[in-house]
A and B are shown apart, each in its own frame.
Chain A
Amino acid sequence: MKKYPVVLYVFIALCAVQLAVPAVMMARWEYVSIRGEEFKFEMRPVDPADLFRGRYVSIYLDDFIVPIPEGLSLEKERYVYARIGRDRNGFGLITAIGTDEPEEGAYVKVKAQNYYEYSDKNPRAIVRLPFNVYYMNEAKAPVAESAFWLRNRERGTTYITVRILKGRGVVSGLVINGKEAEKITPEDLDRNREGSM
């Protein structure tokens, strides 16, 4: 049997690890995007260009203010688990936070810190959801952004959809003025200027 240099075996092992890292990431998130429960969160987008990670829409979601459970100190910002529920309009919201990972239901890991207001009697925390980018085709991202800024939106028509499973969340879609961002065309913008979209 032909003997190969040791360095070649080391290199093959490195290649396997280099391919395995993105492959495992893919598999994990693919699983969430197929099996996860879908939630909608209202948002406002802006459109920075980041050549390295492609053209994306920055997602700005409203912060959630939630009661701090007894025994949890949030003087310094830290990670906690947030349970996700729905409001009466079907939009996602944070129902509770805690340090223990919930055994069931939808939840994600979030950053939380104390929230102060003079009228507060019970301690509350300000919580940010970890969904901050939505990647789009470089030609379509500016069109989607223009669609967002062109028209006064009705509440509840511009949002992201997120699939959540076992503490992980994948942004699965962006809807602007009731239409999927990828399907908005420059003609839609013209129609919008005339008053309908």
Chain B
Amino acid sequence: MNVKFVRWLHAELPLLVKQGVLSQAAADRLKEHYGVPEKGGRAVLAITLLSITGSLLIGAGIMILIAHNWDGMSHFSRAMLGLSPLAAAQCLGGYALYKKKASRKWTESTAVLILMLSGSSIAIVGQTYNLGGTTWQFLVTWMALSVPLAYIFRSTLASLLCLAGTCGYFIVVTRGYEIIGDRWPYIVYFALLFAAGIPYFIMKLRENRYSVDAVLLSIGYMALITVALEGLLGYDFLNADNSTWVFAFAMLFTLFYLAGKLIAPEAPTMWQRPMQTAGGFAVMSISYLLALNEPFHIRWDGSLEYASVAAFVVFCAIAAGLALLIYRARSEFPSPIALMPVLFAAGYFLNRGIKSDMGMIVLFNIFVFAAGVAVFLMGARSMNMQRINAGMFLVALMIVSHFFTTEIGFLAKGLVFVFLGSAFVATNIILIRKKRAS
């Protein structure tokens, strides 16, 4: 529930009772239904944010102090200098767990401080003993020592920092800077770090799937999975071609969309359903670019890769499973956006059959146009202005884009732009009037 609304309602209710609009009993029932807004909510949030920022700054400051390299000290003193801030932060963490467990600002900030300083303590040993080491080893060790902090302190920020560290590790490994020999064992480290954070994410979703924590973790996991897929497809691992890249990302973003539909179906705002928002937006963006045949230049004349076929089969199984779960929960199937990868596969084989790019282009033009019309109609049925405008925007975008890619005179282009603009304005005016009348 929107906290601002609840606070406003609580301020209004006494006035409404005084003016005789509501009885005291009705006001009490409303209060009971919407709950009491958290007292000093903003102040608490501000203090929590300040504490976390303070911890991050202190942690970073200590790292920079260590980076100065105090050469007047012996190896042992330098190492102790590096370890003592960690030990102090751990004591603070113990105090927070024992005495201040209910205080978010204490738990989050001490978890972050310990996380930062455990990294600096490893770094200082490397510096003191001139160990060149490798970034991936450093990151894996650091993250493995930090993941438990998220669970012990119930710290979302620690979990997010671990996701960032895991992301950094995978970028280093997949770029192949510091590793030699077989690369697949490095994927196992990644998988372990990835899996280690998942129970915390599930825990947060179970607590409140629309909370800031759940939203931030969803965004973090989406980013991590996207980076991981990019790394896997890259030169150093699978060295995939253009079509495989587009196909793989289309499948991934579709799964994000479906997972979002299942996890957060009734989120009141767009930001509280990040998987649906980002997944849907990405799927439609790829579809739009495929409709214009830019910038991917899909190759369809090469030999068929069996790994792609296998990935598609797995995708279909997961997507169908998610769609069924969504149907069971809400008695409705997800939007046809989820069919985009199937359409891609169809377009690919159509291109191979007719030996031309046109198959895919025509299919995706129809798809994006139909999606625009469908969104518009759904919006019109529920009088949802956001959906109506999104649908009209999609249709207009397709028309305008084709005007730029084809040779049409300025006069015709100008007239069509004026027509589309007028259609937008007129539709909005009509709908607003209808809404007011109803």
A: residues with CB less than 8 A from B are 4-5, 7-8, 10-12, 14-15, 17-19, 21-23, 25-26, 29-30, 33, 50-56, 76-79, 111, 130-138, 140, 170-172, 182
Report which of B124, B145, B181 forms a contact with A79, defined as CB distance below 8 A: B181
Quick one: given A12-B94, A77-B180, are A55 and B69 in contact (CB under 8 Å)? Answer: yes
Contacts of B68 in A (CB 8 A): 54-55, 137-138
B68 — nearest CB in chain A belongs to which residue? A138
28 A-B residue pairs with CB within 8 Å: A8-B97, A8-B98, A11-B93, A11-B152, A17-B145, A18-B86, A18-B118, A18-B145, A19-B86, A19-B90, A22-B83, A22-B122, A25-B122, A25-B126, A26-B125, A26-B128, A51-B63, A52-B123, A53-B67, A53-B126, A54-B67, A54-B127, A56-B127, A76-B181, A131-B132, A132-B132, A138-B67, A170-B130
A53 touches B86 (CB 8 A): no
Are the C-beta atoms of B152 and A14 separated by less than 8 Å?
yes
Write the chain B residue with the least CB distance to A172. Answer: B130
Report yes or no: B69 in contact with A22, Cβ–Cβ below 8 A: no
Q: What number of residue pairs across chains A and B have CB atoms under 8 A from each other?
A: 124
Whether the pair A19, B83 counts as a contact (CB closer than 8 A) is: yes
Q: How far is the CA of A138 from the CA of B94 in the complex (A)?
A: 35
Nearest B residue (CB) for A28: B129
Q: Say yes or no: A22-B149 contact (C-beta < 8 A), given A8-B94, A53-B126, A135-B69.
A: no
Q: How far is the CA of A137 from the CA of B126 in the complex (A)?
A: 14
Task: Please classify the interface of chain A as helix (H, G, I), strand (E, B), loop, or mixed, using the class held by over half of its residues.
Answer: mixed
What's the tally of chain B residues with a CB closer than 8 Å to chain A?
A: 42
Q: Using a CB-CB cutoff of 8 Å, which residues 165-186 of chain B contact chain A? A: 180-181
Complex CA–CA separation, A22 to B129 (angstroms): 11
Shortest distance from the beta carbon of B432 to any chain A beta carbon, whole Å:
55
Query: Within the assembled complex, what's the spacing in Å between the Cα atoms of A8 and B94?
Result: 7
Known contacts A18-B90, A22-B125, A29-B125: A136-B132 contact under CB 8 Å = no
With an 8 A cutoff between CB atoms, is B121 at the interface? yes
Q: Which residues of the partner chain B approach A22 to less than 8 Å between Cβ atoms?
A: 79, 82-83, 121-122, 124-125
Which residues of the partner chain B approach A50 to less than 8 Å between Cβ atoms?
67
In the complex, whether B305 has a CB less than 8 A from a CB of chain A is: no
Closest CB in chain B relative to A168 CB, distance in Å = 10
Contacts of A54 in B (CB 8 A): 66-69, 127
Q: Is the CB–CB distance between A5 and B97 below 8 Å? A: yes
Among residues of A, the one whose C-beta sits closest to the C-beta of B90 is: A15
Q: Quick one: which of B66, B75, B114, B181 contacts A18, CB cutoff 8 A?
A: B114
B197-231 interface code vs A (CB 8 A; 1 in, 0 out): 00000000000000000000000000000000000
Within B335-355, which residues are at the interface with A (CB < 8 Å)?
none
Q: A18-B145, A53-B123 are in contact. Are A26 and B67 (CB under 8 A)?
A: no
B32 within 8 Å of A by Cβ?
Answer: no
Distance of A143 Cα from B309 Cα, bound (Å)? 60
Chain B residue numbers with a CB within 8 Å of A138 are: 67-69
Interface residues in B118-154 (C-beta closer than 8 Å to A): 118, 121-132, 141, 145, 148-149, 152
CA distance A8 to B153 in the complex (A): 10
Q: Is the CB of A19 within 8 A of B87?
A: yes
Question: Which one of A11, A55, A76, A131 has the highest number of Cβ atoms from chain B below 10 Å of its Cβ?
Answer: A11
Complex Cα gap A161–B122 (Å)? 23
Interface check B235, CB cutoff 8 A:
no
Q: Which residues does chain B contribute within 8 Å of A25, judged by CB atoms?
A: 122, 125-126, 129, 131
Whether A21 pairs with B145 at a CB distance below 8 angstroms is yes
- How far does the Cβ of A180 sit from chain B's closest Cβ, in whole Å? 11
Bound complex: CA A11 to CA B63 (Å): 23
Separation in Å of the B282 CB from the closest CB of chain A? 33
The smallest beta-carbon distance between B183 and chain A, in angstroms, is 11
Q: How far is the CA of A15 from the CA of B128 in the complex (A)?
A: 22
Which of B75, B97, B121, B131 contacts A7 (CB under 8 A)? B97
Instruction: Tell whether A33 pairs with B75 under 8 Å between CB atoms, given A10-B152, A15-B90.
Output: yes
Q: In the assembled complex, how far is the CB of residue A17 from the closest CB belonging to chain B, in whole angstroms?
A: 6
- CA distance in complex: A130, B70 (Å): 24
Q: Is the CB of A78 within 8 A of B181?
A: yes
State whether B129 touches A29 (Cβ < 8 A).
yes
By beta carbon, the residue of chain B nearest A182 is B71
B86 touches A7 (CB 8 A): no
Q: Is B57 an interface residue (CB 8 A)?
A: no
Chain A nearest CB from B56 CB (Å) reads 15
B64 at the interface (CB under 8 A from A): yes
Lowest 4 A-B CB distances belong to which pairs? A171-B130, A54-B67, A132-B132, A29-B129
Cβ-neighbour of A170 out of B87, B118, B121, B129 (below 8 A): B129
